[in-house]
Amino acid sequence: MRTSRQKIVAANWKMHLDRVEALSLASEIIETAQREGLSAAQIILAVPHIHLHACGRLLESVGKFPLFLGAQNCHHEAKGAFTGEIAAAMLASYQVAYVIIGHSERRQYAFEDSKQLIAKLKRCFENNLKAIFCCGEPLAVRNAQGHLAYVRLQIEEVLSTLQPAELMNIALAYEPIWAIGTGLTANTAQIAEMHDSLRQLLMELSPAHGQQMPILYGGSCKASNAADIFATPNVDGALVGGAALDTREFLNIVKAIQDK
Ligand code: 13P
């Protein structure tokens, strides 16, 4: 079935690249994407906070071309005595359009739970920021066949607390933890099963908006497997880690969705 859902390919640079490397990669991606007319999907560069200002200045030159700045996290309070943290309002003041919320690395290493993630989403929406909200199961849960229920709970606990209209500010990203940075991609049957389950859940949460929310896949997505992943029903794009650190590799993923 054809849908009008927004297509998105987002780069998550994680904690990679120094200043010179970050500016070089961002400018190469911007120039090449424009030159090759890769405008069928939104391209998001979610860079480390310290590079937001410089990368944002580069992105100012793109005009109407669909290239956007993303951040990888924000704090769950609006402001205050939280040394070392970054508020959503600060991100908004640097032309950030999207914030990755609930990445499995932050759930694991920073112990973020659903209550905090709800607050982070609220801070984003208060500041007109959209969110890429992540979910995904560990290998033990997958092996025990508990993956659908596990991911459903991750989404339901958070999204059921939001106003239906707020759902329009979210793209979901399904990232099975066992596929992140491992070179092990979920196969298309596994992706189809999960994305179908997520779509059903979104329709239950909001019949009016559930069909519209993009669902991205993440986990060892690269140029060589992107076309198969994008041909899978209910896959509207990708959240890309390692392969996003190379211009050609990343933009070939964008090309694969352009050709979908
Ligand atoms: P990789 O593409 O390196 O597996 O990372 C996926 C990811 O975690 C993106 O957020």
What is the 3-state secondary structure of the chain? CCCCCCCEEEEECCCCCCHHHHHHHHHHHHHHHHHCCCCCCEEEEECCHHHHHHHHHHHHHHCCCCEEEEECCCCCCCCCCCCCCCCHHHHHCCCEEEEEECCHHHHHHCCCCHHHHHHHHHHHHHCCCEEEEEECCCHHHHHCCCHHHHHHHHHHHHHCCCCHHHHHHEEEEECCHHHCCCCCCCCHHHHHHHHHHHHHHHHHHCCCCCCCCCEEEECCCCHHHHHHHHCCCCCCEEEECHHHHCHHHHHHHHHHHHCC
Domain ranges in the chain are 8-258
- The average pLDDT across 101-126 equals 98
Residue 70 confidence (pLDDT): 98
Per-residue pLDDT band at 63 (split at 50, 70, 90): confident
Residue 3 confidence (pLDDT): 58
Q: Would you say the CB of residue 42 lies under 6 angstroms from ligand 1?
A: no
Per-residue pLDDT band at 2 (split at 50, 70, 90): very low
Per-residue pLDDT band at 164 (split at 50, 70, 90): confident
What is the distance in A from the centroid of ligand 1 to the CA of 207?
A: 30
- pLDDT tens, residue by residue, 13-55: 999 999 999 999 999 999 999 999 999 999 999 999 999 999 9
- CATH code: domain 8-258 is 3.20.20.70
Q: Would you say the CB of residue 218 lies under 6 angstroms from ligand 1?
A: yes
Provide the annotated active-site residues.
Answer: 103, 175
